[in-house]
Chains A and B, each alone.
Chain A
Amino acid sequence: MAETMAESYNRESEPTTRTLLRRVLDTADTRTPRRRRSARVSAQKALLETPSSRRLSSPTKMNVRRRSHRARSIGRLAHVHTSGNLEEQTPRTLLKNILLTAPESSIMMPESVVKPVPTPQVVQSSRRESSRGSLELQLPELEPPTTLALGLLAPGRRKQRLRLSVFQQGMDQGLPLSQEPRGNASASSLTSSLNLTFATPLQPQSVQRPGLARRPPTRRAVDVGAFLQDLRDTSLALASPGDSLRTPVATLQMDTVLEDTQPFSQPLVGRSPSVYHSLPCTEAEDAERAVSHRTQSSGPRLQNHNPRKPAQLLAAKAKKVDALAVSFPNNSSAISGEDGVEPLQDGVGEEAEERMEEGLSVSKVMDTTGTQGSVRTEKSKGYREMTEAVEAKEPEGSSGDEDISASTELASSTTEFLQARRPQFLEPAPPPSTAVLSSEPLEPLSTRLPPRARTPGPRPRQDPHKTGLSHYVKLFSFYSKMPMEKAALEMVEKCLDKYFQHLCDDLEVFAAHAGRKTVRPEDLELLMRRQGLVNDQVSLHVLVERHLPLEYRQLLIPCAFSGNSVFPAQ
Chain B
Amino acid sequence: MAFSTTVSQRKHIKRKAPRGFLKRVFKRQKPHLRLETSGDLLVHLNCLLFVHRLAEESRMNAFESKCGVIKKEHVQAAAKVILKKSRG
Contacts and interface: CB of A to CB of B under 8 A. Distances in A.
A467 B72 CA distance: 21
Q: Which of A245, A488, A508, A543 has the most CB of B within 10 A?
A: A488
B83 A340 contact: no
Contacts of B3: 479, 546-547
Interface string B1-37: 1111000011111111110111011100110111111
A461 to B, nearest CB: 12
Contact of B2 (A464, A523, A525, A546): A546
B15 A479 contact: no
B87 interface: yes
B54 A478 contact: no
A480 interface: yes
B83 to A, nearest CB: 6
Given A483-B70, A547-B48, A549-B15, A502 B29 contact: no
A24 B76 CA distance: 83
Contacts of A334: 10
A219 interface: no
A548 B18 CA distance: 13
User: What interface size band does chain B fall in?
Assistant: 35 or more
Given A487-B71, A488-B75, A480 B85 contact: no
Q: Is the interface of B mostly helix, strand, loop or mixed?
A: helix
Interface string A489-500: 011101110111
A417 interface: no
Contacts of B43: 503, 524
Interface stretch (A297-305, A375-383, A425-433, A526-534): A526-534
Interface in B47-75: 47-52, 54-56, 58-59, 62, 68-72, 74-75
Interface in A446-504: 464-465, 467-468, 471-472, 474-485, 487-488, 490-492, 494-496, 498-504
A478 B11 contact: yes
Contacts of A491: 72, 75-76, 79
B25 A533 contact: no
B69 A471 contact: no
A496 B74 CA distance: 15
A183 B20 CA distance: 78
A479 B42 contact: no
Contact of B38 (A243, A339, A555): A555
Contacts of B10: 244, 333-334, 336-337, 340
Nearest to A512: B33
Contacts of B59: 480-482
A339 B9 CA distance: 9
A492 B52 contact: no
Given A499-B47, A500-B25, A482 B68 contact: yes
A544 B45 contact: yes
Contacts of B69: 482-485
A531 B48 contact: no
A527 B35 contact: no
Given A467-B21, A488-B72, A552-B44, 16 more contacts: A336-B10, A337-B11, A338-B14, A339-B12, A340-B12, A464-B21, A465-B25, A468-B18, A471-B18, A478-B13, A508-B33, A521-B38, A543-B45, A547-B48, A548-B15, A555-B41
5 contacts: A338-B12, A482-B59, A508-B30, A531-B85, A540-B42
Q: Please provide the 8 A-B residue pairs with the shortest distance between their CB atoms, ordered closest to farther.
A: A468-B21, A339-B12, A479-B55, A524-B42, A518-B34, A504-B29, A480-B55, A487-B72
